[in-house]
Structure 1
Amino acid sequence: MNAYNAVMLYAGWILVLALFYALPRVPQALLGQKRIDSWERGKESTDPMFLQRAKSAHLNCLENFPVFAAVVAIAGLMGQIDTINGLAAFVLYARIGQTISHILGTSFILVFSRATFFLAQVFLTLYMVYLLVC
């Protein structure tokens, strides 16, 4: 997998997560079980914790994606995409690991693994920056 594919798959992962927590709402609204405007905008969520964690995982993806995508794009513009091709996939893998840990629960081991996957993404991206500027 090259760096461009990693960015595209990361973007796809973000969209899948959005659908994952949003799609269960559609039948509830269509069947009149919940008002179409009943979701949380400034109020407490009534979604099951599993879906609340999926939403949080989705928002976490949005926090890191711009930096990762910018590093890959700039590497491409610099003509140095090959320098980071091998690392970019691991950023994506760490993101997927973080997401799965986030959705599965809040036990110590899951929170610890989520933090580890997050730090892996940060350090891998920083290392890519280092490789590109040095």
Structure 2
Amino acid sequence: MTAYTAVLLYAGWMLILALIYAVPRVPQALTGAKPIDSWERNKQPIDAPILQRAKAAHLNCIENFAVFAAVVVVAGLMNRLEAIGSLAAFVLYARIAQSVVHISGTSFVQIFLRATFFLIQILLVLVMVYRLLLG
């Protein structure tokens, strides 16, 4: 997998997460079961907990995507994609694992695993930056 492919798949994963929590809302709004604005920010959550966790997993992806994508783009501009290519896929894998664990629940073990997958991503991107600057 190339670094560019990892960025594209990461973006696709974010879209899938958005659909997981957004699609169930459409029939509820269209049938009048819930008001169309019932999911607006700053309101009490009304979604099932698993959908709330899917939304949170999606927002977590957004928080880190820009940094990951920026590092890959800069590597491309530097003509140094080979320096980070082997790591980019693992950033994606750790992100997907973090999201799946995030959606699955909130036990101590799940939160610990989620944090571990997050730290793996951060460390991998830092190694990518190191390789581009000093490697």
Bucket of the pairwise TM-score, normalised by the shorter protein = over 0.9
**CA positional deviation for 1:94:** 0.2
1:16 is matched with: 16
2:62 is matched with: 62
For residues 58 and 115 of structure 2, what CA distance do their matches in structure 1 show?
15
1:25 is matched with: 25
2:46 is matched with: 46
The one-letter code matched in structure 1 to 2:65 is F
Gaps of 5+ in 2: none
Q: How does 1:1-134 map to 2 (within 5 A)?
A: 1-134=1-134
Q: Calculate the TM-score normalised by the size of structure 1.
A: 0.98
**CA positional deviation for 1:38:** 1.0
The one-letter code matched in structure 1 to 2:62 is L
Moved over 2 A (4+): none
For residues 14 and 57 of structure 1, what CA distance do their matches in structure 2 show?
9
Aligned-residue CA RMSD (Å): 0.6
Q: Deviations over 1:22-81 (max 9, x none)?
A: 000000011110011111421111101000000000000000000000000000000000
- In percent, how many aligned pairs have the same letter? 66
For residues 15 and 49 of structure 1, what CA distance do their matches in structure 2 show?
19
Q: How many residues align?
A: 134
The one-letter code matched in structure 2 to 1:78 is M
